[in-house]
A and B are shown apart, each in its own frame.
Chain A
Amino acid sequence: MDKVYNTVEAAVEDVFDGAVIAFGGFFSAGRPAGLTKALAKRNVKDLTIVLQQVGPGNEEILDLVTNGQIRKAICNYPFPRSASKGADHPFEQAVKKGEIALEVFPMGTFVEKLRCAGAGLPAFYTPTGVGTVVAEGKEVRVFNGREALLELALTVDFTFVHAWKGDREGNLIYHDTAQNYNTAMAMAGAITIAEVEFLHAVGDLNGNGIHTPGIFVKRVVETGRPDLEIADI
């Protein structure tokens, strides 16, 4: 079952207006930069993007913002760390002006919403966020004497992940902390597209070390090892 696409452009060709797209990556590590750049060249709009943060450490996402392609973002650490950097930041200012809607979840809740979507669980309860703004409008239940919030799974139309090694059937191995959200997001996408640094023949990768089994991946495209980037967050 060969899933290889020859170019990032071909791999994202069917992303449609209004699509919900998850992007792997944690600041500079494990970002699907090639797929993201290809998406920014396409005339699709009203996108909902699901990712840790917009801009610091993953500057290619900003092209989608400045192109006006984003309607909504779902994040857990959306802005630059310092308020002074945020004052000049196109995403933070677009949120402030109401041009882009923003929903923020605690990091553990954010990743679990994606994992649950991939695992067929419509919702889950978590003690995180009880008694905070995160709890507003959400059902609270007591388990073993402790309050917990009902959080819903987050299904996405497309997921872009970045892996270190992949084979032609979509088995993926991530490298060090570049794994981060890629694993959970790969499960959550109706169509998960993996850019890989090194593409291998089927049978080359040891089955004991696969992080994302190929069943979760629809497309694979080889993009090479990115250059070292030092992100200022």
Chain B
Amino acid sequence: MSATKKIIVPEIPPIEREMIALRIANMLEDGSYVNLGIGIPTLVSNWIEGRDINLQSEIGMLKCGPLAEDEEIEQDRINASCEFVMELPGSSYFDIGTSFAMIRGGHIDVAVLGALQVSASGDLAGWNNPARGMGAVGNIGGSMDLAVGAKKVIVAMDHVTVDGKAKILTECTYSLTAKACVDVIVTNYALIEVTPEGLVLKEAIDGVTAEDVQNMTAAPLIIADDFKEMEF
């Protein structure tokens, strides 16, 4: 199957981005150190209040708190998406060299990243959309280090592009962030694990069949023995 495979999107509406984030939040273990990328991944932070999950922000902050508003704003305290954030008891600040020692050094348990494309072998393409027309340069930011360094990489993304093209492919056609780095893909229709045997479909949202998910995926899916409806 190729990237040009005809993609059929089911009539069942997809879940909201907040629900993708909630499904991912439910996968995170208490006591873990987690980095959230820009986009849907940032929404995971809305679902972890009261839990023992420590957010690392690559700008140089550990135990990064919720978004700050009005009088809570401190101009020198932003997250990596340039949003004002709050301190928590035990928050710490450090330089970006130390921040990436945490990331590359295998100290981050989970990175949740957005993606333009993911391949059957877990290659991730997330930083350079050729439609922008900038050739081989673009906003890499911390994505390559996170994809390579985090113990587990969870991709949070829509299942297909806004114009109905597949994002899960046999091979990525866009410039890669890292090879064979993705462990789990959570989309607005399904949860897929990347295994040595290939992509394993574990869950689909209410009303969507395994066949429906395959019809929007340009890489072959193995249906898990315990394939089930996505729960929140």
Residues of A at under 8 Å CB distance from B? 26-30, 53, 56-57, 76-79, 81, 83, 86, 92, 95-96, 102-109, 111-112, 115, 126-134, 164, 174-184, 211, 226, 228-229, 231, 233
Contact = CB atoms under 8 A, between A and B. Distances in A.
A106 B76 contact: no
Contact of B77 (A107, A109, A176): A176
B177 interface: yes
Interface of B: 38, 57-61, 73-82, 93-97, 100, 103-104, 128-129, 131-134, 136-145, 148-149, 175-179
A184 B96 contact: yes
Nearest to B38: A81
Contacts of B78: 26-29, 177
A103 B206 CA distance: 46
Contacts, number: 152
A106 B142 contact: yes
B117 to A, nearest CB: 13
29 contacts: A26-B59, A29-B76, A29-B77, A29-B78, A76-B142, A78-B139, A83-B132, A96-B133, A104-B140, A106-B140, A106-B144, A106-B145, A107-B140, A107-B142, A108-B100, A127-B148, A128-B144, A130-B179, A131-B178, A132-B178, A134-B144, A164-B76, A176-B61, A177-B59, A178-B76, A179-B60, A179-B94, A181-B95, A183-B95
A107 B148 contact: no
A86 B137 CA distance: 13
B120 to A, nearest CB: 15
A175 B176 CA distance: 35
